[in-house]
Structures are given as structure tokens and as C-alpha cells.
Structure 1
Amino acid sequence: MKQPDFTNLGDHLVLNFLNTLQHYRGQEIDLIDSPSHLVQWILYMEQHQWLSASQRERLITQGTWDLTQVQQFRQYGRAFLGGSASRVLFFNYLSGVSQQCPLTFSLVDHGTHVERIAVPNRGGTAGLLSLLSYDFMGLITSDMLSRTKQCESSRCIAYFVNRSGKRKWCSMETCGNRQKSLRHYKRRYTSH
């Protein structure tokens, strides 16, 4: 089985998770359509330092996966960011999800800085959704929520944090270059 191409890595674990739903050639692609793909995503997040080894260990070894709940969380999160979900209902949903699996915290000294790590009390679906809820709550309570945007490319549905206020695309390397090339092509070949 080929590993999904997990792209559109952003500023928050939860945005990386929401971006596991992508468009490709007009079709919606679910990159976590099986428990093995979900585990691959968790390993990828650890590899890119979005999850710690202790978080990965707990998630993978101490629980089972319910893909329906995982995909439902992603659907609700995307609806909230897209403006089609009630704030009150979504906040209550996040609170309910986080209550199902409490988190404990530890500090990791990296020498130059100290990091707070949230570790769920159990793994699997409950642990993952608890971590994602915690990260989403951090996004909501910071000024980053107002800066969270969806890519303006018609071919992309990724979310990203627009820190500069000018950014239009999830990634200059993919969507930005595509859009600029398309504009160049239209100017050059359709204006005559």
C-alpha cells in the first residue's frame, strides 16, 4: 500500500490534520481512509516534530481506531473554519471530545527552550481527538484563528495561518506557482 502524500503542513497539528482531506483533479481525496493511513499520518507528524515520541507511542499502542469519529472531527473542524458551523455547537463539541480522554502534561528541556507536551491518558481515537481538540482550542484562543485562511487556489482546500496578511496560498511552491503560471499563460496566450 502506497503511503499518502501528506502535504500542506502548517502552523498547528490540527491544521495538518484538517489538510488530510485534499482535492486532486476535481475529486476529494481522503488521506486517512484506513487505520494504517492514520498511523502513517501520526508517524509523519512525529517525523516532522508535530508530535513527540511519547505522544506517538501512546496514540499507536494504547487504543483502537474509529475512522468515522476521526473523519467526523475533521468534517466539523473544516465546517467551523469555513464558517458553516455554529461557534457554540463547535465549542461544545470540542469540550465534549476533550472530556472523553484527559491529557497530562510534561516539560521537555531542549536546551534553548522548554516545551510543554500534552500526552493523552490513552491512545487510539479518543487520545488523538483529545490532542487535536486541545490544539484547536489553542488556535481558537489565540490571535491565530482570525489569521487562519483557506487557500485561494481553486484546486486546493488546505487551511493555513496567514501571518503576513498578504498570503493567498497554502504554499508558494505548489498553489502559488500554479496560480502565477496560470495568470501568465492567460495574459500571454488569450490577450491576442
Structure 2
Amino acid sequence: MQDRMTLSQFSSYVFINFFNTINSHWDQANDYLTTEAEVYQWLDLMSYHGLLLDQQVKALKQEAFHTEKIRDFRDQSRSYFYSKENEEEFTHMLSKWTKGSLQFIFEQGALVPVPLKGGADGLLALLAYQMLHHKEAGIWEKISACQNDDCLALFVNQKGRRKWCSMDVCGNRMKARKHYSKKKAGQASE
């Protein structure tokens, strides 16, 4: 997973990294959560980067992961952030996932949610909580889709001017395409 999930799409937000577990490479969609082993790898990657605490990962790994449930949640969430319609319905769905599903511990100077259940239910409760927490912080309004039509990535557009998930990957590709098409158009008119 660590090799397959490109750093250009890596975010400091766990839920954005979760959304980007489906991406496009060479015009082909890749889903990185098709097996339970891949979910474990993704959790380990989030832990490695300090985005999930050991207590959270340990609680999640106590039960099996039903990947179809996880992918359905991811796809519903991605759909919301692409359309940004039915916010009330979406936040209600997220709230239902968090009810009675989390406990809070004081860790690293802050209250940290830890799932009471493992597996898919615990992971989705934790992600739902984090999404709601970041909604309250105003992050939802800053979530954008990459303007490269071949890319499926979402990202947090902090300043509102960013067009691509990564300048190094999609930005360069789009600028190269634009340059090539202008050059080709110039040659055709000669």
C-alpha cells in the first residue's frame, strides 16, 4: 500500500486519505481497499504517518473488516464532496455512525476518539467523527476535486486557488497537455 498510494495524494487529513484509496493511474481506476489485508495496510500507513494513534488502530483491528461496507461508505462520501448536495442528509448519516460508537481518551494534550467496536463499524465511526469534526472547523468548504479529468483525487484547497491534487503530478501533466495542444495547433496553422 505504501508503495501504491502516491505521496502526491497524501494528506494530513485521514478522511481525505480514505477518499483517495480509489484513484486513477494511467487512465485506470485503482481501488486500494478491495481486501482486508489492504485495509490493514492502509491503517498501518495512517499510523506510520501519525494520523491514527496506536490505540485507535489496535481497537480497529479487533474485528474483521467487511470491505464492501467500507467501500460503500467511501463512495457515498466521495459522491457528497463531488456534488456538495444534500448536506443535511449526509451529516445525519455521519452522525448515526458516531452514536455510541466512540470513547474519548486524553492523549497528546487533546481528547482523541477511540472506536468501541473494531472492524468496519469502528473505522466508519472514527471516519464519520473526523469528518464531522472537520466540518465544524470549516474544512468541508475547502475540499476540491482535482481538475485533471483523469484523476479521482480529492484534496483540501486551503487558499482556494489550487486546481490539482498535486502540482508535481497532475499540475505538470495538465500544463504539458496544454503546451502540446498549443504547439500542435500552431503547427497545423502553418
TM-score, normalization: structure 1?
0.88
Letter in 2 for 1:5: R
Asked if residue 152 in structure 1 is aligned to residue 147 in structure 2, the reply is yes
* 2:175 counterpart residue number: 180
The one of 156, 160, 182 aligned to 1:161: 156
Distance of 1:35 and 1:26 partners within structure 2: 25
Distance of 1:191 and 1:103 partners within structure 2: 63
Asked if residue 10 in structure 1 is aligned to residue 11 in structure 2, the reply is yes
Letter in 2 for 1:9: F
Distance of 1:30 and 1:4 partners within structure 2: 14
**1:164 Cα deviation (Å)?**
1.6
Distance of 1:66 and 1:91 partners within structure 2: 23
| Structure 1 unaligned blocks of 5 or more | 109-113
User: 2:80·2:90 contact (CA, 8 Å) conserved in 1?
Assistant: yes
| Structure 2 unaligned blocks of 5 or more | none
Identity of aligned residues (%): 28
Q: Per-residue CA shift, 1:89-118, capped at 9, x if unaligned?
A: 21121111112522323221xxxxx34422
**How many positions carry a matched residue from both structures?**
185
Letter in 1 for 2:60: L
Distance of 2:104 and 2:137 partners within structure 1: 21
**1:173 Cα deviation (Å)?**
1.2
Letter in 2 for 1:139: H
* 2:103 counterpart residue number: 103
SS in 1 for 2:83: coil
Closer, same or farther: CA 119–172 of 1 in aligned 2, 3 Å:
same
SS in 2 for 1:69: helix
Q: How does 1:20-169 map to 2 (within 5 A)?
A: 20-60=21-61, 62-83=62-83, 85-99=85-99, 101-108=101-108, 114-169=109-164
Cα root mean square deviation, aligned: 1.8
Distance of 2:65 and 2:112 partners within structure 1: 22
User: 1:58·1:119 contact (CA, 8 Å) conserved in 2?
Assistant: yes
TM-score, normalization: structure 2?
0.89
Distance of 2:110 and 2:41 partners within structure 1: 24
SS in 2 for 1:97: helix
Closer, same or farther: CA 31–100 of 1 in aligned 2, 3 Å:
farther
